[in-house]
Amino acid sequence: MTALLGTYDHYGYAAIALLGTFLGAWFLLWVTLRSPWAERIRLWRGVSPPFLGVVGVLFALTLAFLANDTWNAHDRALNAVYQEADGLRSIDALAEHLPPPVKSGVVGAVRDYACITVNEEWPLLARRQSSRIAAEHLDRLLALLSGPEIAGVTPPGVHGLMLAQATQVRMARGARIALSQTHVNPLKWLGMAFLGFLTMISIAMVHVDQARAEILAMAIFAAAAAPTAAIVLVQGNPFQPPTVVHAGPITALAGAQSCGSAGAR
């Protein structure tokens, strides 16, 4: 159960953001309109409406920065997948310069790694895990490309480029795995929640002597802030729904026939 909560923590934070916002709005409306202290609170009427913009802007900027971090992580994950696929495709193309037996070994190693990545490692990314077998296949590909069998029959420039592409694949895979294991930063979102609550207090105090206006303003703010925060939170992991980074570029490289035989090698 603990592992499950750790894996899908951003969904829990999204639920808290939704419920917490509306509960906070209801609490402030009760305090200012129905509670035993409502009359005393009304004595503080007269807060200038422009004051509401000061706290509101701080809240909006904080939420915008958090959303930017989330969507940047998604873009970086997508870029890592394309870089990984591009490196594998480049190795595949450069293998055309090799003698047929050596070429077959390189192409097979590339296909095997692509198939293991798509079929075994990709489902693990949604659980914030990686595949040891995929790592071993990548190590084998690097060992094959750096071995004397290929170095002796490949022009130095081509051989160096193949090794550079293999290094790119390793780096892109590392970035992909690191992004799949990122978690929501509670302190950042706690700061955002604090500013949101202060904004609702400001709304209540600006309209403290106008019950209908206060209820309407609080409801509009809650309806705008809570779903927006929840939408950002549920996208906390680029490899989990609703916006999943798919393995399409690597799948296209792997091919159905080679994936069927990858496990036999």
Alpha helices, DSSP H, located in 147-255 = 148-151, 156-180, 186-206, 211-234, 248-254
pLDDT above 60 for 2: no
pLDDT at 97: 78
Round to whole Å and give the CA distance between 68 and 257: 40
Q: Quick one: pLDDT band at residue 69, thresholds 50, 70, 90?
A: very high
pLDDT at 264: 40
Q: Which of 28, 59, 103, 11 is nearest to 196 (CA)?
A: 59
Of residues 256 and 226, the one with the higher pLDDT is 226
Round to whole Å and give the CA distance between 131 and 49: 56
pLDDT at 67: 93
Tell me the percentage of the chain whose pLDDT exceeds 70. Answer: 94
Round to whole Å and give the CA distance between 251 and 33: 60
Distances (CA, A) of 129 to 31, 70, 123, 139: 47, 19, 9, 18
Per-residue pLDDT tens for 92-148? 999 887 888 888 999 999 999 999 999 999 999 999 999 999 999 999 999 999 888
pLDDT at 255: 67
Of residues 254 and 72, the one with the higher pLDDT is 72
pLDDT at 252: 86
Per-residue pLDDT tens for 163-220? 999 999 999 999 999 999 888 888 999 999 999 999 999 999 999 989 999 999 999 9
Per-residue pLDDT tens for 4-21? 556 788 899 999 999 999
Tell me the mean pLDDT in the region 238-255.
Answer: 88
